[in-house]
Amino acid sequence: MNQPERNSLRRHITRRGALRVLAGSGAAAAVALTAGCGSKDERTTLRWWSPQASPDQLKAYKAQIAAFEAANPTIRVVFEATSDEGYPAQFATAFAARQLPNLVTHLPSFAAQQYYAEGLLEPVDDVIKAIGIDRYFAGANEVYRTSDKHYCATGIGNTAADMLWYRKDLLAAAGITAPPATWDELRSAAQKMQRDGIYGAALPYGMNAMTSLIFIGFIHRAGGQVFSPDLQVAIDSQPTYDALAFFQSMREFCPTGASNFSWGESLTAFVSGSTATGIYSGRVLANVAAQNPAIADAIGCTTYPTMSRDIPAWTYNDFPCLLIPKGAPHLAETKAFAASLYQPQLYAQQMHAAPGHVLPVLRAVADDGFYRANPLITRYAAEVDLMTKAATAGHNLGQETAAHKPNLKANEIIASNAIAELVQRVVLNKENPKAAVAATAVRLAELMRA
């Protein structure tokens, strides 16, 4: 064999070799993918979804899972975080594909009602029975009652999501002695406290669920409603104009970026000390403790002011709940696991993971010494008690008042951002409020019909 030939042969071989490596790695990749990447577990797997997944909450969930797995060695529970603004999309595809989680927690009650009405949920009557309905606060499960006399979900907690958080030090510095109770007082307080780069308030003006959910509260705090008790569109009325006017008048006291605020931004603005008041749930307590302990002694909360003193407070409680999608496998195991989440000690620990944010639905736990011994709950006992009371009396678009029929379209109305758009049109685009509200009313009617 002469030299060039050998060279060409070697080149030949290496190139063939290279091709073989390429083909081989392709096959290997295919095998790895079809094998599903990872060893198969013999145990039954339950998938648990929740949008509430801060690191501390994850730890509490893991403790609950570990306890259940120890008692049921044949079952494995996998927790997966879903997105808070994005859950409707994730659920739509999960249902469409029948790729369902076994258990979902911390979705708002109106989502549960809608999914149940669409035939997508398993009633959870058994779970409630296993927990014991008299262990809940009285009537705590009424919001999950369905027209066919079942429960579409059960409460995993309560949240007073639109408390007025304020800074006592800044109020005092502005010469204000009592936290504001009406819109006029709030506006003037915000005006007095706004200086040196500190803004008066952290209201959301974004095109998102938070803005819709929060603004609905303002309509009620002006004495109005979005739908009448028999679910006719009732938004086109004076209270809505008043609420819009108030929202508009507050814009100058909110940070520039408020037109993109959702929950996270609004919360961070208050916690970081950039705004003198905030609108949020008890999550403020843990975040202040972790991120800005300097203001920990100066914060306090009250129910959000109403337009005038004769209008009662209205608190937005999303009624975070536990639901079971229909068609997911291992129903009995799922129900057993669901009930196990309410074992008092572990349940209290789950509440401790977000003290004051997710408030207990179990009466015994709320008064229990172990639950109350949490440092933050002890430190802010008055605030936690106030939030517990406000949340218990709270409502959301799924049932705006006790007199309302459940609104099965609430989930889609929020997802459509129709109400957030109304706020943006009037506040940011300075459109005529009456015309904008009228257009929104038409839109809501369409959504109800769809």
Partner 1 sequence: MPDAAAARPPGAGALERRDALLGMALIAPTILVLGAVIVYPLLSAIYLSFFSIYTPTLEGHFVGLANYRDLLGSGGFWSALVTTAIWTVGTLTLQILVGVGMALLLHQNILFRSLARGLVLFPYFLSTVVAVLVWRWLFNDLYGILNQMLMNAGIIAAPVNWLGAMPNAMLSIMVVGAWKFFPFVVIAVLARLQTIPESLYEAARIDGAGPVSRFFDVTLPQLRDVLTIVILLRTVWDFKEFDLIYLMTGGGPVNGTRTLPLIVYNQAFGLNQMGMAAAYAVSMMLVMLVFMLAYLRRANARSEADSAA
Partner 2 sequence: MTTRRPNLLASLIAWPLVLIIAFPLAWMLLTSIKPAAELFTRTPQWLPRSITFEHYTRVLTETPFLQYFGNSMILAISTTVLVILVSVLGAYSLVRFRYRGRETLAALVLFTYLLPSVVLISPLYLMLVKVGLANTLASLVAAYMSFALPYALWLLRSFMAGIPEDLESAAMVDGASRMGAFVDVVLPQALPGIISTALFTFILAWNEYLYALVLVNSDEARPLTTGVMNMLISAFNIEWSLLMAASVMMSIPLVILFAFFQRYLTSSFGAGGVKG
Stretch that binds partner 2, among 18-26, 145-153, 217-225, 230-238 (CB under 8 A): 18-26
Q: In angstroms, rounded to a whole number, what is the distance separating the alpha carbons of residues 315 and 161?
A: 7
Amino acid at 392: T
**One symbol per residue from 203 to 242: x for binding partner 1 (CB under 8 A), - otherwise; what is it?**
--xxxx----------------------------------
SS3 state of residue 145? strand
- The answer to whether 30 contacts partner 2 (rule: CB under 8 A) is yes
Q: C-beta of 417: minimal distance to partner 2 in Å?
A: 16
- The answer to whether 84 contacts partner 1 (rule: CB under 8 A) is no
Q: With CB cut-offs between 5 and 8 Å by kind, which of partner 2, partner 1, none does residue 249 bind?
A: none
Give the residue, chosen from 166, 421, 433, 441, that forms a contact with partner 1 under the rule CB under 8 A: 421
Q: With CB cut-offs between 5 and 8 Å by kind, which of partner 1, partner 2, none does residue 291 bind?
A: partner 2
CA dihedral 416, 419, 421, 427 (to 10 degrees): -170
Q: Which of residues 61 and 205 has its CB atom nearest to partner 1 in the complex?
A: 205
Q: With CB cut-offs between 5 and 8 Å by kind, which of partner 1, partner 2, none does residue 238 bind?
A: none
Q: With CB cut-offs between 5 and 8 Å by kind, which of partner 2, partner 1, none does residue 115 bind?
A: partner 1
Q: In angstroms, rounded to a whole number, what is the distance separating the alpha carbons of residues 98 and 425?
A: 38
Q: With CB cut-offs between 5 and 8 Å by kind, which of partner 2, partner 1, none does residue 214 bind?
A: none
Q: Which of residues 25 and 272 has its CB atom nearest to partner 1 in the complex?
A: 272
How many residues interact with partner 1 (rule CB under 8 A)? Answer: 34
Q: Check if the beta carbon of residue 347 is closer than 8 Å to that of residue 341.
A: yes
Q: Which residues of 190-213 are buried (b: 16+ CB within 10 A; e: fewer)?
A: bebbbeeeebbbbbbbbbbbbbbb
Q: C-beta of 175: minimal distance to partner 1 in Å?
A: 26
Q: With CB cut-offs between 5 and 8 Å by kind, which of partner 1, partner 2, none does residue 296 bind?
A: none
Give the residue, chosen from 170, 416, 433, 444, that forms a contact with partner 1 under the rule CB under 8 A: 416
- The answer to whether 16 contacts partner 2 (rule: CB under 8 A) is yes
**In the block, which residue shows the tokens 């008048």?**
249
**One symbol per residue from 107 to 146: x for binding partner 1 (CB under 8 A), - otherwise; what is it?**
--------x--xxx--------------------------
> Tokens standing for 13?
């071989």
Q: Check if the beta carbon of residue 158 is closer than 8 Å to that of residue 366.
A: no
SS3 state of residue 341? coil
Q: Which of residues 37 and 96 has its CB atom nearest to partner 1 in the complex?
A: 96
Q: Check if the beta carbon of residue 387 is closer than 8 Å to that of residue 375.
A: no
- The answer to whether 428 contacts partner 1 (rule: CB under 8 A) is yes
Q: C-beta of 390: minimal distance to partner 1 in Å?
A: 29
Q: Where are the beta strands (DSSP E) in 364-438?
A: none
Give how far Cα 147 sits from Cα of 14, 87, 117, 342, 385, Å.
72, 25, 9, 26, 33
Q: Which of 276, 243, 212 is nearest to 443 (CA)?
A: 212
Q: With CB cut-offs between 5 and 8 Å by kind, which of partner 1, partner 2, none does residue 95 bind?
A: partner 1
**One symbol per residue from 74 to 103: x for binding partner 2 (CB under 8 A), - otherwise; what is it?**
----x-xxxxxxx--xx--xx-xxxx-x--
- The answer to whether 89 contacts partner 1 (rule: CB under 8 A) is yes
Please name the residues in contact with 93: beta carbons below 8 A apart, sequence gap of 6 or more.
99
Q: Check if the beta carbon of residue 256 is closer than 8 Å to that of residue 179.
A: no
* DSSP structure class, residue 89: H
Please name the residues in contact with 266: beta carbons below 8 A apart, sequence gap of 6 or more.
202, 203, 204, 210, 258, 278, 279, 280
Q: In angstroms, rounded to a whole number, what is the distance separating the alpha carbons of residues 74 and 434?
A: 61
Q: Write out the residues near partner 1 by the rule CB under 8 A.
A: 88-89, 91-93, 95-96, 115, 118-120, 205-208, 255-260, 269, 272, 274, 412, 415-417, 421, 424-425, 428-429, 450
